[in-house]
Structures are given as structure tokens and as C-alpha cells.
Amino acid sequence: MKQEQLRRNIRQQRRSLQPSEQQLLSSAICQHILHSSLYLRARRIGGYIANDGEAGLEDIFVNTCKMYKQWYLPILDQLHHNRLWFAPCDLDTSYNVNRYGIPEPISQSRLRRRPVNIDLILMPLVAFDKSGNRLGMGGGFYDKTFAFLRQRKYWRRPLLLGVAYSFQQVNTLTQQEWDIPLDAIVTEQGLQYF
């Protein structure tokens, strides 16, 4: 199946989840993250606001605030096309909606962080395979943002943890030279390292 067709099919399946089912699955995913060594060791955590049927991370956000960790959300880089910065947010943060209809935290430029300054990124995705390849929404934002990781052999920060429902796993994805693989994936069934 072609990637565009696969993307459409899985996005439709994700959007067709009943709200109660989505909440139940998201809660199970969050529990796996909260008990993982990846999360427990991280101080600066990049997440996302669920969109288009993605698994929600509200439990992680609330726990991060309680644990005195710093929660960051992606914001579009205004100078470099298809790249992201990460802005801090807490329970009092205000948001603007970006050109894709996704809320972004309003923050001062000096508080924004480059991706290299984040310990753990919880990444949304459309599909993943058993080798850690990820199919995103098609804009290339995460691949371009984390392209610097291809040059790293020994020290890898941030760690990339894909967040998905188990039905989003496929047998194999065609890997492109610009694709940045995941370090691990978490679904309602548990966490798997690559």
C-alpha cells in the first residue's frame, strides 16, 4: 500500500475511535510513559497537544508539572520552513492557534528551546514499524527538526519516543534518507525499544 493511502486509512481509523475508547487507550499509554526510565530520568520533556485522533498526553502534562520537570510544546519556526522550536508551558499558559489549527503556547523568544536542549520528545505519528521507522503527517517537520541526530553516534539527545495506538503498527515502512527513526515506541500495550 502506498504511503499516502496508508496515511489516510490509519488517520481515519484513529479519528473513528469513540471518545471513551480514546480516553481509555490514552490513559494506558500515559501510564506506560510515567513508569518508564525514559520519562523518570528526563528533566525537559517535549510533548504535543492531541489532534486528529492522536493519543492524548494530558496525564503526562499534569504529572510533569507536579514533578518539577519542564514541559515543552512544539511551535512552528518562523524563519526556517518545516522546523520546530519548543516553548515551555504550564497550567497557566495561553495559546494561539497556528496555520494548521494546532494550539501553540504563547512564549517569549528567549524562553524557547532548540530541540537539542530537550531530553525526551514524545512524538505523534500516523504509523510505525518494528524497526522504529515512523510515518508522520507528511510535512516533514519532525524529520527536519531532528536531522542533526543523524550526525550523532554516541551522545543522543533528545531521545525520540513515538506515541501511538497499537493498530498504527504496520509490517514495514519504506525508509527515506531524510527519515529520523524512533528510539522507542509506546502504545497501550507497552513500551518497546528499537
CB-count exposure of residue 116 (10 Å: 0-12, 13-18, 19+): exposed
- What is the mean pLDDT, run by run of 10 residues, along the chain of 194 residues? 89 96 97 97 96 95 91 85 88 90 88 91 96 89 89 79 97 86 96 94
The residues near 149 (Cβ < 8 Å, ≥ 6 apart) are 156, 160, 180
Find the distance separating the first CA and the last CA of the chain, reported in whole Å.
24
Cell of 172: 514495514
Q: What is the DSSP string of 123-164?
A: EE-SEE-TTS-EE-SSS-HHHHHTGGGGG-SS---SEEEEE-
- Tell me, what's the pLDDT at 154? 66
Against a cut of 0.85, is the pTM above it?
Answer: yes
Contact status, residue 76 vs residue 104, Cβ threshold 8 Å: yes
Provide the CATH number for the domain formed by 3-193 in this structure. Answer: 3.40.50.10420
How distant, in Å, are the alpha carbons of 156, 161, 184, 185, 193 from that of 37? 16, 12, 12, 13, 12
Residue 68 backbone phi and psi in degrees, to 5 = 60, 35
The Cβ-side half-sphere exposure at 130, using a 13 Å CA radius, reads 2
CB-count exposure of residue 12 (10 Å: 0-12, 13-18, 19+): exposed
